[in-house]
Amino acid sequence: MAVSQVNVFTGFYTYLTADSTFNTAMGGGVATAGRIWYSHVERDETLPFAAVDLISSVDADTMQKDGYDYRVQVTIYDDGEAGPLAVMGHLDKLRTRLHRQRFSVTGHQQMTVSEDTVRGPFREDDAWRVDADYWVRGFVI
């Protein structure tokens, strides 16, 4: 059975935007996702926000094996006046949300997430940015 990258990313994104301190910090609430976007974000987006991107060497939409190992990058931005500690505070909330957690996706066993690399904080125009890479691992049922 093939592993769908779309299903894996959707499961990760759904878990990330569910009610949590990270989602709240990005402007979300109990029933609403915060400013957590897939890949591309407009330059005039309200700060703070996060962009999530699937980083993988896998071609097309599926892998032809039962297990998967994807790299996901979460880039967090906050106002330049807030300083670098603001994005690092959001990173702490992201780490709390993802640390040693398991979550389910239809047709898959529970996925696990582990932190790989963190880069930053960096000053970018009028904002601060930090990049955090995670491994998403799991198996098809």
Q: pLDDT tens for the chain, 141 residues: list them.
A: 566 677 778 888 888 888 899 999 999 987 788 899 887 777 778 899 999 998 874 444 445 556 677 889 999 999 988 889 999 999 999 999 998 788 777 666 778 888 999 999 999 888 999 999 998 887 766
Residues contacting 85, CB < 8 A, separation 6+: none
**What's the domain range around 49?**
3-139
CATH number for 62: 3.30.2000.10
The total number of structural domains in the chain stands at 1
Residues in the chain: 141
pTM score, whole prediction: 0.85
